[in-house]
Structure 1
Amino acid sequence: MGVGAPSSAAPAGCPELYVLAIPGTWANGQNPGILGDITAGLGAETRVQYVGYDATAFPWEKAVYGKSKAQAVANTTGLARTMLRRCPGTRIAVVGYSQGADAAGDFASEVGTGRAAIRPGQIAGVVLLSDPRRSQRDNLVGPPLRWEGSGGPRLDGMGWVLPRAFTICEPSDLYCNVPQDYFITRIVGYLAETSDPTPSQIGQYQAEAGAIISELLTLGGPGKIVEELSNARAREQIISFNRFLQSGAHANYATFAVQPGVTAVGWAHRFLAGLA
């Protein structure tokens, strides 16, 4: 019997909905941040599990970003498969914030495009807050956005999971909405994604690198690449990024309104609560 195959009788104690919550960088199950509010009180038929991973970004910590995120994806997949083996009738939902949204989105993409040993129909819903790989193709909750995430969009998208996957991004959050001409920022995002690269993602890495180079060449040929990498242009974007960090926009999702009177956290909680 494959993972997620139907069963005539569910074992005792199986939840209707299994929510896998993936915290952001430097967060964990003991300090889940906004995910704590999103996953609190989802109902008796729902079980919540925080996904543990190194959740780091810099080389002097336990793991660089790419390796850390890959660990989060693998742990999410493992928890989902373990649950589905015991409880084939349980449906899976994933919610992630920041690096956790990056991992949750990759997990959903792998399932939705048939690259995981989990059927797309087993995924009840996906919520991504401040996803660095947010795409214009994703289902956006909140005001319209002009750009995409700093890590570049997922090459294969969400596949069959897309109708049940939603992304939320505060417009001034550069992690999930970086101006297209912020090439330094996008290159840094690309380098973070490809740190300790995952072999199965090589096509994704090549596509994003190609997109950045192609856009630079279209704007002004090789000279534009040199100009973009100049100290002056780099300083400009570093200053802009520091202003963004000081603004608190990345941590603003508890108060950011995606609909009149509805915050991002409130919308995500209501969506997950409605799945069971």
Structure 2
Amino acid sequence: MRLRATVTAIVTLVITVAVMAGFAAPAQAAPGPRGCPKLYVLAIPGTWANNQNPGLLGAVTAGLGPETRVDYVGYDATAFPWEKAVYGKSKAQAVANTTGLAVTMLRRCPRTRIALTGYSQGADAAGDVASEIGTGRAGIRPGQVAGVVLLSDPRRSHDNNLVGPPLEGQGSGGPRRGGMGWLLPRAFTICEPRDLYCNVPRDFYVTRIAGYLAETSDPTPSQLGQYQAEAGAIVDELLRQGGLGKVTYELSNARARQQILAFDRFLNSGSHGNYQAFEVKPGVTAVAWARNFLAGLA
């Protein structure tokens, strides 16, 4: 009887282990659906660029390897009322399209990981998508995102992981509420120091208000908290400068003229389009760093 009990216990243990292994093995070893990439890079071009002409993102996403698929996110990519869409509406479209592409891929290929990159308005949108994921406000888990790299992000913050020389200013649109959340350790931003879209001095209040108005030109309901936070930050900072008299000065025609001239110098400098030459460290350009970062994620 003891021998039978011992044999029965051993057989039961073997069957149990086999059954457990049978359940566990497919989750670790079974291949994903055919055609699923290891890494899915969603690249959002800047204003006036498009899928056929993605601008500098073409160099950022070139030759990332056979295990990586790259899609350029299509959207209006405009900014002014006389174009297809004002900036706020155009960017909201980019955010929605990016999220839709990511969700569609993850439903078909749950083991694929997402990477986000963007330039200028595209960086604004990619950063918003990353922020929503990182702070738990999206239908995508932070663990499904391999990395984020933004170039000339108009909502760059001192809290972001900056690649390149230290900067005094922040993005013209104001920082994102909650930042990158859980994605912060693998989300990076690059900004040419002279680029006022991503490095506007904090005392350029007229410029910051213009950036705020661009961001809110077609308000997105999910971003209302962000809009309120940035408006409150501008007002608080102005009042801390010295009361209503200082507010009047900071918003005066003279100060506005200074900032208009500074912005004109910025536009003429070409710094916003200088990322293929701008070196984030000796011998490594911004575009090269961003490409190497994405290539290392697969």
TM-score by shorter chain over 0.5: yes
Q: Does 1:149 align with 2:159?
A: no
1:117-156 CA distance string (max 9 Å, x none): 0010000010000000001110000011112111000011
Quote the sequence identity (%): 78
Q: Does 1:213 align with 2:225?
A: no
> Paired residue for 2:259?
237
The secondary structure found in structure 2 opposite 1:268 is helix
Q: Does 1:271 align with 2:293?
A: yes
**Which stretches in structure 2 are left out of the alignment for 5+ residues?**
1-26
Shift of 1:166: 0.2
| Paired residue type of 1:196 | D
Q: Does 1:22 align with 2:44?
A: yes
Q: Does 1:172 align with 2:210?
A: no
Give 1:199's match in structure 2, choosing from 215, 221, 226.
221
Residues in 1 aligned to 2:232 and 2:213: alpha-carbon distance in whole angstroms:
13
Contact kept, 8 Å, 2:241 with 2:247, in 1: the verdict is no
The secondary structure found in structure 1 opposite 2:43 is strand
TM (norm. structure 1) is 0.96
Shift of 1:23: 0.3
Write the mapping of 1:34-53 to structure 2, written as runs, cut at 5 A. Answer: 34-53=56-75
Contact kept, 8 Å, 1:7 with 1:89, in 2: the verdict is no
Higher relative contact order structure (alpha carbons within 8 Å, sequence separation ≥ 6): 1
Cα RMSD after superposing both structures? 1.2
Shift of 1:226: 1.7
The secondary structure found in structure 2 opposite 1:31 is coil
Give 2:96's match in structure 1, choosing from 70, 74, 84.
74
Shift of 1:7: 9.6
| Paired residue type of 2:262 | S
The secondary structure found in structure 2 opposite 1:189 is helix
Greater helix share, 1 or 2?
2
Aligned CA distance change for structure 1 residues 89 and 127 (closer, same or farther; 3 Å): same
Residues in 1 aligned to 2:244 and 2:59: alpha-carbon distance in whole angstroms:
48
The secondary structure found in structure 2 opposite 1:110 is helix
> Paired residue for 2:76?
54
The secondary structure found in structure 2 opposite 1:140 is strand
| Paired residue type of 1:54 | D
Contact kept, 8 Å, 1:6 with 1:88, in 2: the verdict is no
TM (norm. structure 2) is 0.89
